[in-house]
Chains A and B, each alone.
Chain A
Amino acid sequence: MSGSVRPRFGAGLRRFFYNRLAVVGLGILIAIAAVSLLAPILPLAHPNITDLAMRIMPPGTEGHVLGTDQLGRDILSRLIWGTRISLAVGLSATAIAAIIGSLIGIVSAFYGGVIDNTLMRGIDMLMAFPYILLALAIVAVLGPGLFNALIAISVVNIPFFARNVRGATVSLVRLEYIDAARLSGKNNFKILFGELLPNVMPVIVITISTTVGWMILETAGLSFLGLGAQPPTPDLGSMLGDGRSVILTAPHVATLPGLVILVLVIGINLVGDGLRDVLDPYLRAGALVSPRPATEVDAKLLARKRAEKADDRRAGESEDGNRKTGAPGGAQSDGGDSGQPDGDAQSDGDGSGHSDGGAPHISELPLSVRNLRTWFWQRDAQIHAADDVSFDLPKGRALGIMGESGSGKSVTALSVLGLVPTPPGRIMDGSVAYYGEELVGAPLEKLRFYRGNRIAYIFQNPMTSLNPLFSVGEQIAEAVRRHQPVTGEEARAKAGELMDMVQIPDARRRINDYPHQLSGGMRQRIGIAIALANDPDVIIADEPTTALDVTIQAQILRLLEDLRERYGVSLVFISHDFGVVSAVCERIVVMYAGEIVESGSVEEIYRRPLHPYTRRLMACVPKVGSRGAEMDAIPGLPPALDRLPAGCRFADRCDMAIEACTSAPVPLEEHANGSPFGAREVRCIRAKEVTV
């Protein structure tokens, strides 16, 4: 096959070998398989030759290393030959069950309708019986014997395969690549076996790994009952059965085959677990690693913050009130009532000239983010998702974060309250302050207190943040009760009010609706109602209208604007669409490859974008009326965030790039002042040349 499969396959192999238990299991299986394959050429006594003179000899007897059974047959030889037969029967049964079961599953899912109904009802009938009874019944009808036992065990296990494979296939059949294959002229047969089968193969392998151990046990079970291997043929189950009668006088006759079964099944299960870890995408995504309740903060940063805090406290004690850093020491008591100190705003000496008469002190800002750096630590890569991000948000104002996907908008937003998943996320540097209160490295109780209470989030897809099992009213009420000491009754009343507030028509009736009963626009209103539940000071809306139609988007944007005007909430609004951001925000920061590349008022950025990326991005968005105009697309792709260039991150796509751009990191520099709540900044060494 092609070259690119190998690295993927190799990575899987490596992951398998990371699992030490799986490697042990594999060793066991290889040893057992090798010995039983070599049985014919090993210097063994014949397994079926009886020697009544040598009956029931203990292990260690001359010529019979493991002793003999009640007919004087060599136990070692019988064990090896018996393992061979047990393995052969178990594996054949697995193969038969896997092939027939998977076929039934894949065909049912693909054709659906009557075929699916008929096949699956049949499978249900098989599953209605306890399977060992079913196996016994089949052997009873067919008569005892290894081959019939094999058939019985295969039949009994078919439903597992059919169900699992059908389940996996159903979700694949609807994917567009199946339609694409049909449009490429492939017939049903080729689609079933060429397109679908390779994709359900992992599920089949996983099912095999979970059932093969069972099937070997079941084979042994039937033989133990005398329904499988017939004397004198050795088989682990029949040997166990034979030994039963002498269990008291010669325990080794039964114990030895029992041990082999045990070791064999353990080996199979260890390997199976290893395989599942490699193949199961759910496990691979790290589902077993439970995420921490808050994003990890880098140890060095944490230590530094603790030291600073201690310094502050000491300084505060000696000079009463340290205004420079703003944060009220370690106090976390006053979070409840917005914690805003009565405003004797005093501009710092280094205040860099802002329009609203001097920069507001950090302790007056509902949100201030400084030099935030959040990375994802993966086994072989560090993803610089957000690097050196800073912005301020005064009370009642709206800040937009604009950028294409992967530019770090969401990671920035989630870092505010430590909601970036760890692993792999880690805050490496910077600070986030709520009215001067440091949130990076804050204790979990404090973060929990702020979450959804003082700072609330609205997400792109409310369907994923709403619980499908509870009515929307219950979910809003729950959000209220999480932070307010109210009765259930009061919370429900508040939920109704909130639904009115977000203009949900006929709220009293809708309060009992479930999320799936609402349209996308209505669901997003519920998401907003939940965000408003505790009268937050800051709402962070991450692409809240991206999944909505323009007409509904206009409604939601208007609603957010109304709420901000009416309740003085501060808003961080994230979007990839400049038009949308400009509809709600006064100030915009533009992000590219994890960094802010430009910031300023909506007006300034729209009229005179300073960064080449912003300029070209806005130029390549089609506008109504720009009929047939040639679009000057930006060539190439954003850089991979784990292999960033040393200099400007936009350099390889920039038509203004010069040598100096790539030699050293380009700082975000103040270009002019006079922007609303913040300066006009740009991260480009040629920004001064822009004249428009």
Chain B
Amino acid sequence: MSEPVLSIRGVRKYFSERRRLFGSTPPPIQAVQNINLDLYSGDSLGVVGESGCGKSTLARTIVGIIPPTSGEIVYRGSDIASLKGRERREIYKHIQFVFQDPTSSLNPRKTVREILSAPMIELLGLDKREAERRAQALMDKVNMRPEFLDRHPHEFSGGQAQRIGIARALATNPEVLILDEPVSALDVSIQAQILQLLKSLKSDLGLTYLFISHDLAVVDNLCDRVAVMYLGSVMEEGSAHRIFDNPRHPYTNVLLASIPHPDQHETTSIRLSGDLPNPADPPPGCPFQPRCYRATAQCSQSKPALIDYGSGHKAACFYADAPEPPPAAPLESQAVAETADVSG
């Protein structure tokens, strides 16, 4: 394959809390631990996982809203992880971001015109007139009426506001879009409209997506490749059809089995007991081990590496070579015994 457009190499992000007045510094929250992902041109890579698994932190690290603790983010051959000022702004032209909450990501005091013109004026150096002209074209691209340029964000519904968020991200004709749960705050019928829009934009403009979501079905619909994250690490990675049709990792299996579906009433049986462990105090060995239905003694002793099982289908599990679906319902007592603490 050709060179990736964007390469995430060994990225970690730890958040350290402030020192308490008396006593020791609390251990840092290990939000993202050693992630490696490649994004090829025209790709759409989905990152799925439950809340708190580090998806959004990863996304924000990639665009530079927050700096990584260590690791490289390589865009077209050069590391952009620690760029600042003018060089950082140069990168914003090529890599843009769509936020989860369409209303809080638009300044209530600005008109749509001001919001859409800002990147063109600041990043491309266009004058107001030219920016205005292109803002109209942008509105057209996201299927909004150009008259809406004069409006303020509060005058829009969630779906319309998200279209504006997408238009803002497209203002500089970027190559890569990082989309952080862009449809999660939307209603089902509106979500479908936005997904449709994202698909047509991708093929019309030749975009490359890194699409973050907790919704496996949405990711399966939009993405060709998928990475499943748990507790800051990638558990499984590969093409959508391999991940969703023949998952190798127990966690992916559990996620799929947890989706309630009208066809299978018994899906309400618990497939996974307990809560997500505290990311400031991850369990030893495999991160999934306290909740895993296949866990053995080995799993708490060492951390399984992400190994390629062919055709780019990678999994981080000692037993990934012989995958097994989860039992219908794990022992109830297990649910009681093994819940870990999550604070805050």
Listed in ascending order, the chain A residues whose CB lies under 8 Å from chain B are 2-5, 8, 175-177, 179-186, 190, 195, 198-199, 404-405, 503, 505-506, 516-522, 549-555, 557-558, 561, 576-580, 582-584, 602, 606, 616-617, 620-635, 637
Q: Can you list 30 A-B contacts (CB < 8 A)?
A: A2-B111, A175-B104, A175-B105, A177-B107, A179-B97, A180-B106, A181-B107, A183-B63, A404-B190, A505-B336, A516-B344, A517-B343, A519-B342, A522-B339, A550-B50, A550-B258, A554-B267, A554-B272, A555-B273, A578-B262, A579-B259, A606-B262, A621-B188, A624-B216, A624-B256, A625-B244, A627-B220, A631-B196, A634-B193, A637-B190
Q: A580 vs B262: C-alpha distance in the bound complex, in angstroms? A: 8
Given A627-B220, A631-B196, A183 contacting B270 (CB threshold 8 A) = no
- Do residues A185 and B89 form an inter-chain contact, with CB atoms below 8 A? yes
Which residues of chain A are within 8 angstroms of B151 by Cβ–Cβ distance? 2, 4
Given contacts A549-B50, A583-B268, contact A404 B240 (CB under 8 A): no
Contacts of A549 in B (CB 8 A): 50-51, 214, 276
- Are B50 and A579 interface neighbours, CB within 8 A? no
Q: Is B92 an interface residue (CB 8 A)?
A: yes
Which residues on the A side are within 8 Å of B78 (C-beta)?
Answer: none
**Quick check: which of B32-40, B116-124, B134-142, B296-304 contacts chain A, the rest being far away?**
B116-124
Cβ 8 A contact of A404, one of B160, B168, B188, B214? B188
Q: Is B82 located at the chain interface by the 8 A CB criterion? A: no
Instruction: Tell whether, in the assembled complex, residue A623 and residue B217 are in contact, meaning their CB atoms are under 8 Å apart.
Output: yes
Contacts of B189 in A (CB 8 A): 404, 616-617, 620, 633-634
Where the two chains meet, the residues of B that have a C-beta atom closer than 8 Å to any C-beta of A are 50-51, 60, 63, 65, 89, 92, 96-97, 99-101, 104-111, 113, 115, 118-119, 122-123, 150-152, 155, 157, 159-160, 165, 168-169, 171, 187-193, 195-196, 214-218, 220-222, 224, 240-241, 244-245, 254-256, 258-263, 265, 267-276, 329, 332, 335-339, 342-344
A627 touches B188 (CB 8 A): no
Q: Judging by beta carbons under 8 Å apart, are B50 and A551 in contact?
A: yes
B99 nearest CB neighbor, chain A only:
A176
Distance between Cα atoms of A603 and B196 in the complex (Å): 29
- A residues in contact with B104, CB < 8 Å: 175-177
Counting from the closest, the 4 A-B pairs by CB-CB distance are A185-B122, A620-B192, A633-B192, A176-B105
Chain B residues near A555 (CB-CB < 8 A): 270, 272-273, 335
**List of A residues within 8 angstroms of B65 by Cβ:** 179, 182-183
Name the A residues within 8 Å of B268 (CB-CB): 554, 557-558, 561, 583-584
Q: Which residues of A are found within 8 Å of B254, using beta-carbon distances?
A: 551
Q: What's the nearest-Cβ distance from chain B to residue A601, in Å? A: 11
Q: How far is the CA of A579 from the CA of B105 in the complex (A)?
A: 30
B221 close to A631 (CB less than 8 A):
yes
Residue of A nearest to B278 (CB): A519
A553–B275 Cα distance when bound, in Å, is: 11
Bound together, the chains give a CA A109 to CA B111 distance in angstroms of 25
Closest residue on chain A to residue B111 by CB atoms: A2
Contact A622 B221 (CB under 8 A): yes
- A583: chain B residues within 8 A (beta carbon): 260, 265, 267-268
Contact B336–A405 (Cβ < 8 Å) = no
Task: From the candidates A184, A576, A628, name the one contacting B188 in the complex (CB within 8 A).
Answer: A576
Beyond A179-B65, A521-B275, A576-B187, list 4 extra A-B contacts (CB 8 Å): A4-B155, A551-B255, A579-B259, A632-B192
Q: Which residues of B contact A557 (CB under 8 A)?
A: 260, 268
**Of the residues A177, A551, A616, contact of B272 by C-beta under 8 Å:** A551
Chain B neighbourhood of A554, CB < 8 A: 258, 260, 267-272
Which of B190, B269, B337 has a CB less than 8 Å from the CB of A558?
B269
- B275 contacts A631, CB within 8 Å? no
Within 8 Å by CB of B157, from A617, A628, A635, A637, lies: A637
* B255–A198 CB distance below 8 A: no
Q: Which of A177, A550, A578, A634 contacts B192 (CB 8 A)?
A: A634
Contact between B255 and A631 (Cβ–Cβ < 8 Å)?
no
How distant is B65 from chain A, measured CB to nearest CB, in Å? 5
Q: Would you call A183 and B258 a contact (CB within 8 A)?
A: no
CA distance A520 to B275 in the complex (A): 9
Roughly how many angstroms separate A175 CA and B109 CA in the complex, as a whole number?
Answer: 13
With A4-B152, A627-B241 as contacts: A522 and B109 at CB distance below 8 Å:
no
Contact at B193–A184, with CB atoms within 8 Å?
Answer: no
Partner of B214, one of A176, A184, A518, A550: A550
Complex: chain B residue closest to A190, CB-CB = B122
**Which residue of the partner chain, among B118, B261, B275, contacts A185 with CB atoms under 8 Å?**
B118
Smallest CB–CB gap between B289 and chain A, Å?
15
B275 and A552 within 8 A (CB): yes
Least Cβ–Cβ distance between B254 and chain A, in angstroms: 6
List, in ascending order, chain B residues with CB within 8 A of A631's CB: 192, 195-196, 221
Most A C-beta atoms less than 10 A away, residue of B50, B104, B245, B260: B260
Are B262 and A582 within 8 A (Cβ)?
yes
Residues of A close to B270: CB separation below 8 A: 554-555, 558
In the assembled complex, how far is the CB of residue B125 from the closest CB belonging to chain A, in whole angstroms? Answer: 10
Query: Bound complex: CA of A623 vs CA of B343, how far in Å?
Result: 33
| B92 in complex: contacting residue of A177, A185, A503, CB < 8 Å | A185
In angstroms, Cα B108 to Cα A195, docked, is 9
Question: Could you tell me the distance between the alpha carbons of A584 and B262 in the complex, rounded to whole angstroms?
Answer: 10
B221–A629 touching, CB < 8 Å = yes
A198 to B109, CA, bound (A): 7
Cβ of A621 and Cβ of B105 under 8 Å apart? no
Q: How far is the CB of A550 from chain B (nearest CB, A)?
A: 4
List the A side residues contacting B261 at CB < 8 Å: 579, 582, 623
- Contacts A516-B344, A583-B265 given; does A505 touch B335 at CB 8 Å: yes
